[in-house]
Amino acid sequence: MAKTLNRLYEVVGRNRPTAKNTNPQIFRMKIFAQNKPVAVSRFWYFLAMLNKSKSTTGEILQCEEILEHKQTQIKNYGITIRYNSRSGTHNMYREYRDVSLNGAVDQMYTEMASRHAARRPSIWILNAGVVKASQLRRESNKQYIDSRLRFRVNGRVPRPSDKSFRKVFSATRPATFY
C-alpha cells in the first residue's frame, strides 16, 4: 500500500475566554492535511470565514489524527469539493474506490491536478465518506458492484512438485491463468 500524503485530522478550537465572553463557543472540524501544523492552520483559515476568530485570539483544544479502522477491505468513497479555477469557483462530486479515505483523497488531488489543473490549496473538501453500492452515481464505479465479478490472476505459474522432473527448457509456454 502506498504512503498517502494526506491525513484526516479532527481539530477542536475556540476563542479564548474573556471578561465579556467567559464561555466561548467550541468549533470542531475534520480537515485533510499533510501534518498537524498544516491542519491547525487550515482550521483557523476556515474558522475566520465562518466566525470572527483568529489564531491570535483563539486556542486549540485538541488536534488528533483519525485513523481508518478496516484498511483491508475496498470501499467506495464519495467526495464533494469546491475548487477555484482560472474561470471561477466550481462545485464537484467525485467517486473513488480505495481501502482508506486518505487514499481516496490522494486520488482526488491527483486527478484534479491532471484533469483540471487545480492545485492543492485551491481545493476545499466539503464532504467525504463511504458510499453504499446502491447509491453510486458514476458508471466507472458501478461496473465493480456485481457480486459475480471475477478477475483473472496473472503471473501464477504451475510448477511440478518433484524437482528432478523439472525441466530447464520447455517447448511450450506455461499457462499463467486458470
The per-residue pLDDT for 178 is 58
Residues 43 and 83 in one domain: no
In the numeric block, which cell numbers belong to residue 176? 499463467
Instruction: Tell me how far apart the alpha carbons of residues 110 and 101 are, in angstroms, rounded to a whole number.
Output: 14
Model confidence band, residue 48 (pLDDT cutoffs 50, 70, 90): very high
pLDDT at 158: 67
Residues 86 and 116 in one domain: yes
Residue 154 included in any domain: no
pLDDT for the residue numbered 160: 63
Q: Which range (23-27, 114-118, 137-141, 146-150) has the least confidence?
A: 146-150
Looking at residue 79, its pLDDT comes to: 97
Q: Say if pTM beats, i.e. exceeds, 0.85.
A: no
Q: What is the pLDDT of residue 5?
A: 82
Q: Does residue 138 form part of some domain?
A: yes
150 lies in some domain: no
Show the beta-strand stretches assigned E in the chain: 7-15, 26-33, 58-66, 75-84, 89-98, 123-130
Query: Are both 88 and 128 inside the same structural domain?
Result: yes
Is residue 167, in this structure, part of any structural domain at all?
no
Domain count, the chain: 2
Query: What is the pLDDT, as a whole number, of residue 174?
Result: 66
Whether residue 134 is found in the same domain as residue 90: yes
What is the sign, positive or negative, of the torsion defined by CA atoms of 161, 165, 169, 175? negative
Q: Verify that 61 and 79 share a domain, yes or no.
A: no
On whether residue 174 sits in a domain, the answer given is no
Q: Integer distance in angstroms from the first to the last C-alpha of the chain?
A: 26
Do 96 and 108 meet the contact criterion of CB atoms below 8 Å apart? yes
Q: Are residues 96 and 39 located together in one domain of the fold?
A: no
Q: Which residue has the higher pLDDT, 162 or 114?
A: 114
- Write out the residue range of the structural domain in which residue 113 sits: 75-142
Task: Indicate whether 35 and 94 sit together in one domain.
Answer: no
Query: Residue 1: pLDDT above 60?
Result: no
Express each pLDDT in 120-168 by its tens digit.
989 999 999 999 999 999 988 888 888 888 888 777 776 666 666 666 6
pLDDT tens digit string along 63-111? 999 998 888 888 999 999 999 999 999 999 999 999 999 999 999 999 9
Mean pLDDT lowest for which of 14-18, 45-49, 104-108, 150-154? 150-154
The CA distance from 138 to 5, in Å, is: 25
C-alpha dihedral (54, 57, 62, 64), degrees to nearest 10: 30
pLDDT at 4: 67
